[in-house]
Amino acid sequence: MRESTIMKIHYGTALGAVVLVAVHVLFRVTMMNYEDSLAYENVLANYKFLPYAIMLELILVLISVHGFNGLRVILLELKQGRTYEKAVTYGCIAAMAGLIAYGSRTILITSMGIT
């Protein structure tokens, strides 16, 4: 993939994440008292509300992509070499996929009510 395409994705995920994370945070502070919003039943209700669950999934994907691409950029600048650069790129992709898989498992199982 060309670096310009990767950077367009980096900028796009940033903009998307800003909007969705703002909504996610506002959900916690505006709907009810912050402490109450973290209660088990209220969090469960959030996950069971499908649009919110989809939003969480989107945040997970957007921030994982943006964050691990940023880490990849920093690591590529630290050291150079074919083997190292391949290892960093594939490592970051693997970490990104792993985190998305782990987070998606939580969202999917909780929103389907199998806890």
Partner 1 sequence: MSKTAIAEEQSSTEVSSSKIVTLRIAKFNPEHDSGQQYVDFKVPYERWTTVLDAILDVKKHLDHSVAVRYSCRQASCGSCGMKINGRPKLACFTKISELNSDVVTVEPMSNYPIVRDLVVEMDKMFANHKKMQPYVIREDSEITTPTKEFNQTPEQLEEYIQFANCIKCGLCNSACPTMAMDSSFLGPQALGQAYRYVADNRDKGKNSRLKIIDDSHGIWRCHFAGSCSQVCPKGVDPAMGIQLLRGYLLGFRK
Partner 2 sequence: MKRNENREGIKGMANPGRYGIERFAYWLMRLTGLGLLAFFVGHIYETSKILNGKTAWENMLASTSTTEGHVFLTLVIGMCVYHTANGIRLMLGHSGYGVGKPARPDYPYTPASQNNMHKLCIYASIGLAALAMMYGISVLFGE
Of 49 and 102, nearer to partner 2 (C-beta) is 102
What secondary structure does DSSP assign to 2-35, as a single string? -HHHHHHHHHHHHHHHHHHHHHHHHHHHHSS-HH
Compute the least distance from the CB of residue 100 to partner 1, in Å. Answer: 23
Separation between Cα atoms, residue 92 and residue 70, nearest integer Å = 10
45 contacts partner 2 (rule: CB under 8 A): no
Q: How far apart are CA 12 and CA 19, in angstroms?
A: 11
For residue 52 the two structure tokens come to 């919110």
86 binds partner 1 (CB under 8 A): no
Interaction between residue 77 and partner 1 (CB under 8 A):
yes
Please report whether residue 82 would count as binding partner 1 according to CB under 8 A.
Answer: no
3-state secondary structure of 33: coil
Binding site for partner 2 (CB under 8 A): 11, 14-15, 18, 21, 29, 33-35, 38, 40, 43-44, 47, 60, 63-64, 67-68, 70-71, 74, 77-78, 99, 102-103, 105-106, 109-110, 115
